[in-house]
Amino acid sequence: NANLVNAVFDALLNTPQDIQKSVLKGIINSLLQEWKGPRTKDDLRAYFILLQNPQFNITSTYVIYAHLLRQIATLVEADHHFLVHWLKKLSQKKFKQLVERLLQFVSLRLFPAKPEEFPPLTKCTWWIPSAAKVLALLNTANNLVHPPLVPYTDFYNSTLDHIDLMEEYHTWQSFGNSHSKVWWIKYLEDKDLI
């Protein structure tokens, strides 16, 4: 029930801080839950609903958000199909908010205003690839709707124009981090740089 979810999220932002913290603790506990066997449709619905949580617009929730993105990114392809099916049914406004939140997450992870607010990049190399994978799911959903919910240009992150790609490539080669390698190869290929 999308109307109920929207009403709950709208009300959530107007609740006292202790209630908002309780909601975040519940999300943490659900994300830390050990999974045995494949995800159920209800599990996937939970991911879909959690992804829309407006609390994730706040940078202090980014560690939790990153873990949510990681779990969604590592789902099997069949589960991604369910999520894409639901994502394409979002309103244009909700869909655009998800895309903008992910782009902001990537931008602030790469260029934080307060670096001490986040774990060091070396300890969370999976944050950006996870966000990129979820953005790819949103892009797939967007491409399945005619006309698309948002123009393809809404997926462009202009903050990435400020990255020294050659320096990042050399860093990647020096440290050999396989998680970031996949993301950078994809990024460099998309930019026709390799």
Gyration radius (Cα) of the chain, Å: 17
pLDDT for 174: 67
Domain ranges for the chain, please list them.
1-157, 163-193
Confidence at 192, pLDDT banded by 50, 70, 90: low
The mean pLDDT of the chain is 84
Return the number of other C-beta atoms located less than 10 Å from residue 121's C-beta. 15
DSSP secondary structure letter of residue 92: H
**pLDDT above 70: residue 178:** no
Among 46-60, 154-168, 179-193, name the one with the lowest average pLDDT: 179-193
pLDDT value of residue 171: 66
- pLDDT for position 185: 53
Residue 136 has pLDDT above 90, yes or no: yes
End-to-end CA distance of the chain: 45
Q: How far apart are CA 137 and CA 140, in angstroms?
A: 5
Give 68-86 pLDDT, tens digit per residue: 999 999 999 999 999 999 9
Between 193 and 140, residue with greater pLDDT: 140
Q: Residue 13 — pLDDT band, cuts 50, 70, 90?
A: confident
> What does the pLDDT look like over 86-122, one tens digit per residue?
999 999 999 999 999 999 999 999 888 888 888 888 8
